[in-house]
Amino acid sequence: MTLTAYNNVSIPSFMYGTAWKKEATSKLVQSAVALGFKAIDTANQLIHYEEARVGEALLALGEKGTRRESLFLQTKFTPVNGQDHRTPYDASADLTTQVKQSFASSLTHLHTDYLDSYVLHGPYSRQGLGKEDREVWAAMEDFYESGKTKMIGISNVTAEQLRLLCEGAKHKPMAVQNRCFAVTGWDQEVRAICRAQGIIYQGFSLLTANGTVLADPAIRAIAKRLGAGIAQVVFRFAMQIGMLPLTGTTNPQHMKEDLQSESFELSPEEILHIETIAL
Ligand SMILES: NC(=O)c1ccc[n+]([C@@H]2O[C@H](COP(=O)([O-])OP(=O)(O)OC[C@H]3O[C@@H](n4cnc5c(N)ncnc54)[C@H](OP(=O)(O)O)[C@@H]3O)[C@@H](O)[C@H]2O)c1
């Protein structure tokens, strides 16, 4: 299954996230792809991600016959406030140069000459968008226009910031990636904008951000009815409301279970219950 953005580029409907995997990153990415994941998320940000180890996995997979074009690779430009001293660009350079250097370094790490999706890790300002955000976005738009990335996206955005970006940009984002909390109706305001604009909404930390909600007896009852696990119910729920979920599992058995969630079907009543569970 795939989801298609307004520019007609499609993303596989489930994504494997590589944050916090450290030296296990390469082995886990290889397992994820061998088990069936077709989309991989990383970032050029050594605090949380090992992009070069994702690249090592891609080389190893390539040797076993996995073609680059069969995978969807997404990485991110992380502004200096999200980096430590290992910033993958000259932090004293102007922002356009920073994006160019970070992008080039991502291509080197990932052993590829194009990306499927390039994401701004987060706006510079907490509220609204500033001139830094617009300059970085313009640099990303250049990569999109040159065909070096098939999509551009933004992460950790509020509804207000997304609205502003859609209004002011030459190319509005094709993807949004946000932490998804049940208490906000699973980011309902941002998802509504995405739906209206043809932007693919990617939800992360669906499990870790919603611990207490997932202990709800009704969710357990749905899992029992389907003969599924709680994680499978949550991921399938996410897909049925039009979201592209990320899983961050480090366990190959859980990778298999997470992928199997595509085969379950929740009823409209069950979907409504989960969607409004914490409102
Ligand atoms: N843009 C951003 O700022 C940002 C921030 C954070 C994350 N992300 C992206 O989102 C990805 C996912 O984030 P996340 O790791 O917080 O997501 P997550 O999938 O909600 O959390 C991972 C946790 O869920 C458990 N899990 C997964 N499948 C399971 C299953 N079938 N049964 C039981 N437990 C299961 C994992 O345990 P096991 O390891 O034991 O399976 C792990 O403890 C990251 O890797 C990253 O790519 C992006």
Q: What pLDDT is attached to residue 40?
A: 98
Amino acid (one-letter) located at 50 = E
Substitution site in 205, 206, 237, 261 for ligand 1 pocket (most atoms within 8 Å of beta carbon):
205
96 vs 131: CA distance, rounded Å: 12
Per-residue pLDDT of the chain (279 residues; tens, 9 = 90+): 999 999 999 999 999 999 999 999 999 999 999 999 999 999 999 999 999 999 999 999 999 999 999 999 999 999 999 999 999 999 999 999 999 999 999 999 999 999 999 999 999 999 999 999 999 999 999 999 999 999 999 999 999 999 999 999 999 999 999 999 999 999 999 999 999 999 999 999 999 999 999 999 999 999 999 999 999 999 999 999 999 999 999 999 999 999 999 999 999 999 999 999 999
Report CA torsion sign: 117, 101, 120, 7. Answer: negative
* Residues sharing a CB contact under 8 Å with residue 225, sequence separation 6 or more, in sequence order: none
What is the pLDDT at residue 90?
Answer: 98
**Is 177 a pocket residue for ligand 1 (Cβ < 6 Å)?**
yes
Is ligand 1 within 6 A of the CB of residue 249?
Answer: yes
| pLDDT at residue 113 in the model | 98
pTM, to two decimals: 0.98
Q: DSSP readout, 211-266?
A: TTGGG-HHHHHHHHHHT--HHHHHHHHHHHTT-EEEE----HHHHHHHHHGGG---
Query: Would you say 67 and 75 are in contact if contact means Cβ atoms under 8 Å apart?
Result: no
The helix or strand, by DSSP H or E, that contains position 63, with its residue range, turns out to be: helix 51-63
Residue 204 CB less than 6 A away from ligand 1: yes
pLDDT of residue 186: 98
